Structures are given as structure tokens and as C-alpha cells.
Structure 1
């Protein structure tokens, strides 16, 4: 008697319980597939069509959204997907730092530096969802995070970089203006800060070594870029167990304007007034200076920034 053998069929990927957090603010009021609202609808539909159980998290502001994310994680979500820019990645990172629950990222914002550093196309949210669906069938990737400690405050983690200097001053000024809306507000803030560009005085402790530093900008990077593609530390890696200390020494306005465009291609690193070094811990103080991380306001210095090796699990 002839027996016919049927080859084993591949099993379908197990259904996951996935929380999808969608940026509560549209990207500067834009429309289309790359805005958080439109991209969020697409992400939810695609994940559900793949058989996953999806909880949709939309809230009126970031604080309420963070609380909703924390609640989903506490009640058993197996993954978190954030839809938006670096602020949403920052939210996800702080919900999942030190946990085994993976983070997925769908870029739909104005900066998207974390997405760029992870090889995601910031203009293609559909491709990011497909990357997630493929990645979630395998073990997640472990990456490092930066951890910020300030006296009397709980720790805050970042994916891209902490900045305290010219770019932080620009952010602080732009955030204080209600008009104009969109990227023009940031560009005008740059021009305003350039008009008063001057060296800042920092007290640093870098891996235990005390130093006094004059600079116009200092960043402690975990990723490659900030500010929507400014490749301040183009050789940084998310999984080397180190952070990159980026310093721009005092320069004239004219020299700064010559260096500034080079940052977008990463060609500034050979300039004699630019230094980058690999570190594990930096303590930083500067009177009156406020720090930003992943584009989010952290608060006044002093602060200590440490690397948390392998602190985040990613499905990207």
C-alpha cells in the first residue's frame, strides 16, 4: 500500500498582546500617512490582521499616555509599539527600561533620530510595521540606554542623547514661544541664540576624572544623531556598553556657522574644536543650564549620566 507523506506545515506565529501607544499630538499639524494619527490607525490594523491582540492607547497628553502605558505593561502586555517621534520613543524607553518586554518603533514624527539610528526609514511607517512583525518572531535585540540621575529625582532613561548647551538653549527658547508653529519656531530660536553665542562653563567628572570645561555645546550620546538628523556622534553604537561624550569648544559665530552644516553629514568630527570620547559615566554641572534628552526637557543641571548596558529589548 502506497503511503503519501504530507510535509509539515510551518506553524503560524503565536499571537501577542501588544499595546500600541500613539503620539497625542499631530506632527506640527501635518496630514498624511506619516502623522501619528494616520500612522497609528495603519499600525493597529496591520497588527490585528497579523493575528495579534492590540490595545490602542490614545490620550490627551503625554502624562496621561505614560500612565496608560504603565498600566498596560503591569497587566501583562507582551510588547509595546510606539507611534511618533523621539518623544514617543523616550516615553517607551522609560516604560520598559530594565524589563524583558520588547519595544517596537514606528516613526511618525519630526525628529525620528532613534528610528534613523536603528536603520528605520523615518518616512516609511509601513516598512517599520513589517520590520516589527518579522522581528517579533525571534528573540529581541538588547541595546544600551543612557540613565540620568539628578538629586531628589527618579532616574530618567534616554535612547539618543542628553544635551546641555547651544541646542538645549534653542529648545528652551523655542518651547517658550507660542508662535510660529512648526519647524520655523526652532529655526528662529537658533538665530536668536546665535546672536548671543558665548562659551559656557562646565564642571565635569568623566569616568572619575575631574575637569573644568569651556564649551558651546556638550552632549552625552547613546545614538548617532539628534535634532532630526544631526550626526553629532556618527560612530556611536547602541550595544557597545559605552556612551559618546561630544564637546564643541568655544568658537566664534562665524566658525560655528561653518561647522554646523557639517554635522548633518558627520564631517565635523575632524575639526580641531570638536572632540568625541567613549565614556561610561559623566557628571555635569553648569549654573543656569537646563538639559534635554531625546528632545524632552529633563531639568536643570547638575546631573550624572551613566550607561545602562543592555537595558532595553527591541523588536525592530
Structure 2
């Protein structure tokens, strides 16, 4: 005997992987309906529009049993901002270029396998993990729908907030009008390497204030960014702590040599790398924007507070 019918909202990013996975969303909807579920598929011409229609769907139907997002880490971030703190489970079909959070919770990256995994996960209790709540005077307009009940403008992320070299690459890439595809990130990466220099940061971790110079600084809940770079190899999604990753000032040559070690996670023991942990982390530096789950969150200073058990995930 199958599980009872569930009401499922499916938010689909038609531009995931630059439009290469457009067929995935309809296939997921069909698979869920074949299992007997009541499915509401949603799409929109742009990200903000998709946030609005998903928020309306969740608000108009308080008995929604799950929100499923189809896309990459940006879609995961959309989902996290809609359901964090609400108790509504988040399902993920990884159809983007990075898929770091999906990998972190053990969801297959093959879309067919992920769809079968999701259908089975709907019959299990969701996994409860931590999520990070971000505030700050320079915070970009928050995605609608966070479930904390706080009136203070805020946004949520599940993976990693970048506030150094990798964030600068994203910022530069977003300013480029051409090319339109993934190659613009390569162009931005090369340009930022040429201009690489340590930035001066003012940090506060659980009330302790200090200053550092660093070319690369991140605040992590998950282990990886950028499609598998193990930037915080010891981070856990349910330990109630953020892992702050700091690279000490180095030459460009040594910084480039560091990168392959980041992919394998073997950088953690190097003397030029420092990790700190805490529940609440404030990051400030001149002229830097923070990016989390691949999305621009706004100009520093930003404060990240981990909220244990804020997110339920279908795994």
C-alpha cells in the first residue's frame, strides 16, 4: 500500500544549466503524479517572479506537504528562503552546474536518479539540518517567505557565504554583458587573479572581535562551493556551528597552487589556512559583496547566525 497523497509545490528554473535541463521539471512533475500526489508545477520568466508565485502558492494552501525545487544551488536558496523555519520539507532535484547542497545531503546528481530518490523520500521522515540567517545594512532585498517571524530584513542560506576572492569573481561575472554562458566566469576568474590582493577584514565570532588580512574568506554551513571545492571539509550541516575559512596573505603563485588542494580538501592542514567556528559571525570589509549559495546577498558588513534545525530536507 502506497503512502497517502501529498500536496507538493514544484518550483522549476527553466534556465538551469543555461537552459540545458528544461525537460527535467516536467519529468519530475509526471513522476510525482504517477505516485498519486497532488502536484502544483510553477515556473516564471525570472527568479523574482518565481519567488512571488511560489510564495503565493505556499500562502494560499497551508496544507502544502513539501516544496520541491528543480535547478542548481540558486534554486536551493530560493527554496530555503521560502521554507526555513516553517517546517515544510524541501525536496531538491539538482539540475544546475554546481549542486553543492544537494551533494552535501546525499541526493544523487543524476536527475533521473534524483527523481526516484525524491519519490521514495516522500515516504520517509525528512532530515532536519541547520540553516544560516543573514542580516546587515547592505543586505539586498530579501527573498520573500522566510519563516522566522522576525520583522528584521534577513535572508537565509544553506551552504556557504563567500566574502573574498570567489565572491569577487561572481560580482565581476555578473557585471559582464558578454558572453552569456559559463565562460564569463572564466573571464572573471582570470581578471580577479590578475588583481588579486589580500583584503582587510573585521570579524566578530560569538562576541570575539579581531582583524585579518585575507584574499579568500568564507563562512560555511556545508562543506563545498563551486561544484565540489571542499572549502570547509570538516563542516557539518547539523552541528549547530559555522566554519569560518580564512586564507592568510600569500603570493599569486602560491594562491594558484592552493586551489587544487581546495578541491580535494587537503588544504586544511596548511599553515596558510585557518579555520574558526562559531554560532554567530559578523564580517566587514570595504568594497566587498557577500555571495551565498551562488546568490548575491549584499555589501558587507553582514552578520550570519546559524539557526539549528531550521530546515527540513527530503532525503
Q: Same fold (TM over 0.5)?
A: yes
1:1-316 to 2 correspondences below 5 Å: 11-30=1-20, 35=21, 37-74=22-59, 75-76=61-62, 77-122=64-109, 124-151=110-137, 154-316=153-315
Give distance in 1, aligned partners of 2:234 and 2:180. 33
Instruction: Tell me the SS of whatever aligns to 1:28.
Output: helix
- The equivalent of 1:8 in structure 2 is none
- The equivalent of 2:146 in structure 1 is none
Please state how far the C-alpha of 1:152 moved relative to its aligned partner: 7.4
Instruction: Tell me the SS of whatever aligns to 1:220.
Output: strand
Please state how far the C-alpha of 1:29 moved relative to its aligned partner: 3.7
Give distance in 1, aligned partners of 2:86 and 2:264. 35
Give distance in 1, aligned partners of 2:42 and 2:164. 34
Question: Does the aligned pair in 2 maintain the 1:24–1:61 contact within 8 Å?
Answer: no
Give distance in 1, aligned partners of 2:185 and 2:224. 17
Question: Does the aligned pair in 2 maintain the 1:286–1:301 contact within 8 Å?
Answer: yes
Instruction: Tell me the SS of whatever aligns to 2:167.
Output: helix
Give distance in 1, aligned partners of 2:252 and 2:287. 22
Please state how far the C-alpha of 1:38 moved relative to its aligned partner: 1.0
Q: What TM-score do the two structures reach when normalised by structure 1?
A: 0.92
Describe the superposition over 1:89-122 as per-residue Cα deviations: whole angstroms up to 9, x where unpaired: 0000000010111000000001111111111232
Please state how far the C-alpha of 1:155 moved relative to its aligned partner: 1.0
Uncovered stretches (5+) of structure 1, i.e. residues with no partner: 1-10
Give distance in 2, aligned partners of 1:182 and 1:267. 31
User: Which is further off, 142-151 or 20-29?
Assistant: 20-29
Give distance in 2, aligned partners of 1:193 and 1:147. 28
Q: Between Structure 1 and Structure 2, how many residues are aligned?
A: 300
Uncovered stretches (5+) of structure 2, i.e. residues with no partner: 140-152
Give distance in 2, aligned partners of 1:119 and 1:178. 35
Question: Does the aligned pair in 1 maintain the 2:10–2:67 contact within 8 Å?
Answer: yes
Question: Does the aligned pair in 2 maintain the 1:24–1:62 contact within 8 Å?
Answer: no
- The equivalent of 1:5 in structure 2 is none
Report the structure number with the largest CA radius of gyration: 1
Describe the superposition over 1:43-80 as per-residue Cα deviations: whole angstroms up to 9, x where unpaired: 00100000001001011111111111111111232110
CA 1:26–1:209 in 2, change beyond 3 Å: closer, same or farther?
Answer: closer
Instruction: Tell me the SS of whatever aligns to 2:238.
Output: coil
Give distance in 2, aligned partners of 1:227 and 1:294. 9
Please state how far the C-alpha of 1:298 moved relative to its aligned partner: 0.7
Give distance in 2, aligned partners of 1:310 and 1:200. 33
Give distance in 2, aligned partners of 1:249 and 1:183. 29
Question: Does the aligned pair in 2 maintain the 1:160–1:294 contact within 8 Å?
Answer: yes
The CA RMSD over aligned residues, in Å, is 1.2
